[in-house]
Structure 1
Amino acid sequence: MEQSIKKVVLAYSGGLDTSVILKWIKQTYSCDVIAFTADLGQGEDLSGVERRALDTGAVKAFVEDLREEFAQDFIFPMMRANAVYEGRYLLGTSIARPLIAKRLVEIARAEGAQAIAHGATGKGNDQVRFELTAAALDKTIRTIAPWREWDLCSRTDCVEYARQHNIPVTVTKDKPYSCDGNLLHLSFEGGELEDPWAEPGPHTYVMCVPPEQAPDRPEVVTLDFEAGNPVALDGEALSPANIMARLNSLGGRHGIGRVDMVESRFVGMKARGVYETPGGTILQAAHRDLEGLTMDRETMRLRDQLMPQYAAMVYNGFWFAPEREALQVFIDKTQERVRGTVRLKLYKGSVTVLGRKSPVSLYNPELATFEKDMVYDQADAAGFIRLNALRLKAWNQ
């Protein structure tokens, strides 16, 4: 017989949806609700979130700073894989969900809760990410997903519900977006963005300035790497979270890292989103370039073939799946020699690599030179070409 739900841990942002959900769960399930809010570097003042949760009916409220864990154990492993979804999306929301869900499960265990809850809609990817993570970590934990259960059919219904229950409303006509922010990005969905032809409104520029408003003079920076991870910016050693924060500030000031795209959701529909990923865009450009100097050709080729699968695992919610964890072992092996320094120019929405160096560089100037050398016999290339041409000649016959 299924155990009744007496206590629920809710992923709580303090915004409209999760405030309504908190009240609705209490009324519908007649149970205690514990609110959990993660500081993932979204840049919001979370000082009042605990009080807001308690005032809305939570019996406890946890607000935790997870920025360093998020950067070191989630963003950086994904960046080592150069993961990009459908050629453009750097997976900012996708990579945050498994960490939030992990903490929901851990708090549920500690507090004796029978279920977790989230505010993801039945149309989106986040419901899958939360629930697959929970299933991977604790098969006994149940999940409450109000958007799949209640009779509130829109954000307009949520606004009305909030007003009826004296919950403060923060949605306006000027800013009708569903947003998700963290150390890696800020996303926007809804409003005029539901029309793929419509230009994003001015309120979708938060982390990044429009490139035409960026400084007229470029800025040059250096990034140091060890084992595929950034460890210093302009020669200053920084923690993972602080490197991301500083890169976000640099990239945002120069209008770098903004993507407007229509993507394929895991649940089967197309959706349009605007993503601001200033620091991640700089980091990926530098990391990829350093790999060209330090990574073996065939190893890189194999990793690149696997990258779309890795990116899909992250996007679809399989972070804690055995296939992603196994693939991560391979990726991390490929990154052991990815160390050195990359020099980059930031200018009006673009990142340009100016130079790179490494103590384990595979670049041999004596081999690569167009001048006279003593280490490469150009006549050897003739036999190499003849051997590779054998199958082409056979096919032509």
Structure 2
Amino acid sequence: MEAPEQEPYPLDVEAVRADFPILQRKVGGDVTVPGEDEGDTKPLVYLDNAATSHTPDQVVDTIADYYRSYNSNVHRGIHHLSQEASVAYENAHDRVAEFIGAEGREEVVFTKNTTEAENLVAYAWGLNELGPEDNVVLTEMEHHASLVTWQQIGKRTGADVRFVRVDEDGRLDMDHARELVDDDTAMANVVHVSNTLGTVNPVRELADLVHDHDGLIFVDGAQSVPHMPVDVADIDADFFAFSGHKMCGPTGIGVLYGKEHLLEEMEPYLYGGEMIRKVTFEDSEWEDLPWKFEAGTPVIAQGIALHAAIDYLEDLGMENVHAHEQLLAEYAYDRLTEREDVDIYGPPGDDRAGLVAFNLDGVHAHDLSSILNDHAVAVRAGDHCTQPLHDKLGVAASARASFYVYNTREEIDKLVEAVDDARQLFA
């Protein structure tokens, strides 16, 4: 009997893979230095994209061109290189604004990562606005970047921190959300896509609920912006954050989107150069948005490279990126559920983002990840910065395979083969 014909990929995967030389590496066994004899190794199968994605040549070339051609500080020099760098850096803010549907660069603050963006709002807004009479609503599937941040701000301000339940299917209990959100809810923080469950949360519904009670909503988009079309205006998010290194960009840059009137009202999080307009011995005046939140020498090369990463993804088409990952997630879900001793967390394969967290009965996730590494299959093992969620699931850790634009069904087959090998080794 012939195998059923498979649905074609929405992307030209081989052409995409050619943009990422690192995918040609061979790994496994002892750690080797690239370029040296790699010994008994196998072609890399990289399925750890929820942690960080790889960077295409087009983005690497952009970084190199900055350092080779016009490396200079921004907004501080009259000379040609400074002007060139300043224009490129400002254009990067414009490009991000366009990409996520913000009204302009005034609503786009560059940070180091999503975590810093969370902390910026928590400290610059939360410490000034929250008190014992307020509450902050989170969810049980939050990343530590938001959970720990608001937990600690709650301790400092006396604000009550509440958590919307996750049901048995890995989805938010919206009835419970409607019970928790009330007229004292000052802020809700929700992950757009769970980095453990793969759940795509109904963020617009949550935004409407919170706004009906005159609260604000912060959406963690670290696992959504790289993988699907996102429009912050359509979501009606008050704040939104994501990281460059998960979307073909460099490490060291994140983005905080904030509605302009909110950012205008907030005090700076960091003080120093770049973010000031006038300084006397008695007082200081802040620079216009977004610069008042970008103290010191900013992430110049990273911001310019993020611009290039967005260009790369939009050339592929974000609808195609999303469709490709959904195809892979469903395929991985179906292949793994064929094994009765594999437990998968979160919604079904046709109703999740491009990742699958799972466990093999009787094998700790760290041991499983080690066996997969021997097969040159790179996955993440641990609690994925969601310890309370793992406690709720009743497991100490899980293995997570996460997919991106350069992954294939054949790589998922290698993942499943490696899981089968681990079963035999621990039988």
Which protein is bigger by CA-based radius of gyration? 1
**What is the TM-score with the length of structure 2 in the denominator?**
0.28
RCO (CA 8 Å, sep 6+): is it higher in 1 or 2?
Answer: 2
TM-score by length of 1: 0.29
